[in-house]
Amino acid sequence: MLEIKNLSAGIEGKDILKGINLKVNAGEVHAIMGPNGSGKSTLSSVIAGKEEYEVSAGDVLFEDESILDLDAEVRAHKGVFLSFQYPVEIPGVSVTNFIKTAINQTRKAKGLEDMPASDMLKMIKEKSELLEIDRKFLSRSLNEGFSGGEKKRNEIFQMAMLEPKLAILDETDSGLDIDALRIVSNGVNKLRSKDNAVIVITHYQRLLDYIVPDFVHVLVDGKIVKSGGKELALELEEKGYDWVKAELAAG
């Protein structure tokens, strides 16, 4: 579904990603782990289409189509979803109105009519229950005054509503307590199918106890230096990132 070929990208002339190669197929969950500054957020931003980043080499193919020249919203219409590490506050726009606009804009791009109000309400009810989100919450301004856990739950609520093909979860576990972690992971797991894929970006192994990956990749200094199965995450937890760096240095 997603193929990243030799991707180098950065900001203001300096490359942060230095030749990334990655292949994600439908039905798979990939974890990308790495120390701070390794380029994890840059990777998710480049795939989602953040314009500040410049691609200096390589390509990103989504369903065999290069997406690097496509606007962020077009990528979203094609089924790419980014759960933000720091979701943005938009005072004055309610959670409900935001997601309605997002859904209807996506439908419009596909030549469809707006979703009928009753269907929308039903879907909102269903997905908010899945994420254990209170109805009152939905009329609040988007992310305004939300705790870290509430923001991340709201991200996954949006994911549930938009039903993307590829979901990139950027440090979804940061700022979450055990309960929030459980609820968010449960939501993500319920959405998994053989037709979609998930990339989980994280520092810590803990999230991967709940969202069990098929593949784990270690990102250091803008490159994927090691890949393995879910046991790799446990090894990293035990030995730390320095172990990987030492392995690399040794040859």
Partner 1 sequence: MNLKDKLLSSYLTSQEHLDLDNSLHDIKDEAIKVFEEKGFPSKKQEDWKYTSLNSIIKQDFSLVSKQEDTIEFKDVKKYFIHDLDTYKIVFIDGVYSSYLSETTHDGVDVCLLSAALTKPRYKAVIDVYFNKIAPQDSLTSLNTAFAKEGAYIYVPKGKAVNKPIQILHFSTGNEANLMLQPRNLIVAEENAEVQIIERHQSLNGNAVFTNSVTEIYAGKRAMVDYYKIQNDKENASLIDNTHIDQQDSSEVSVHTFSFGGKLTRNNLNFYQNGEHNNSILKGVTIIEDKQHVDHNTLVHHKQPNCESHQDYKGIFDDNATGVFNGKVVVDSIAQKINAYQSNNNILVSDKASINSKPQLEIFADDVRCSHGCTIGQLDEDALFYMRARGIGVKEGRALLMYAFANNVLESVKIPQLKARITKLIANKLEVNLGFDV
- The binding site for partner 1 (CB under 8 A) comprises 48-51, 71-73, 76-77, 81-82, 84, 87-93, 97-98, 100-106, 109, 114, 141, 158, 162
Question: Is the Cα torsion angle 223, 229, 233, 235 positive or negative in sign?
Answer: negative
In whole angstroms, the minimum distance from the beta carbon of 106 to partner 1 comes to 4
In whole angstroms, the minimum distance from the beta carbon of 48 to partner 1 comes to 5
Task: Please count the other Cβ atoms lying within 10 Å of the Cβ belonging to residue 14.
Answer: 8
Give the CA angle between residues 243, 82, 187 to the nearest 5°.
Answer: 90
Q: Which is nearer to partner 1, 72 or 234 (CB)?
A: 72
Q: Which is nearer to partner 1, 169 or 244 (CB)?
A: 169
In whole angstroms, the minimum distance from the beta carbon of 72 to partner 1 comes to 4
In whole angstroms, the minimum distance from the beta carbon of 61 to partner 1 comes to 19
In whole angstroms, the minimum distance from the beta carbon of 76 to partner 1 comes to 4
In whole angstroms, the minimum distance from the beta carbon of 143 to partner 1 comes to 9
Q: Which is nearer to partner 1, 118 or 250 (CB)?
A: 118
CA distances (Å), 60 to each of 67, 87, 165, 191, 216, in order? 6, 24, 15, 24, 19
Q: Which is nearer to partner 1, 59 or 114 (CB)?
A: 114
Task: Please choose, from the candidates 149, 166, 157, 186, the residue with its C-alpha nearest in 3D space to the C-alpha of residue 30.
Answer: 166
Token pair in block for residue 225: 């230096």
What is the distance between the alpha carbons of residues 35 and 63, in angstroms, rounded to a whole number? 30
Contact 251, 70 (CB under 8 A): no
Q: Which is nearer to partner 1, 77 or 203 (CB)?
A: 77
- What single-letter DSSP state applies at residue 89? P
Q: Which is nearer to partner 1, 151 or 223 (CB)?
A: 151
Token pair in block for residue 230: 């879910």
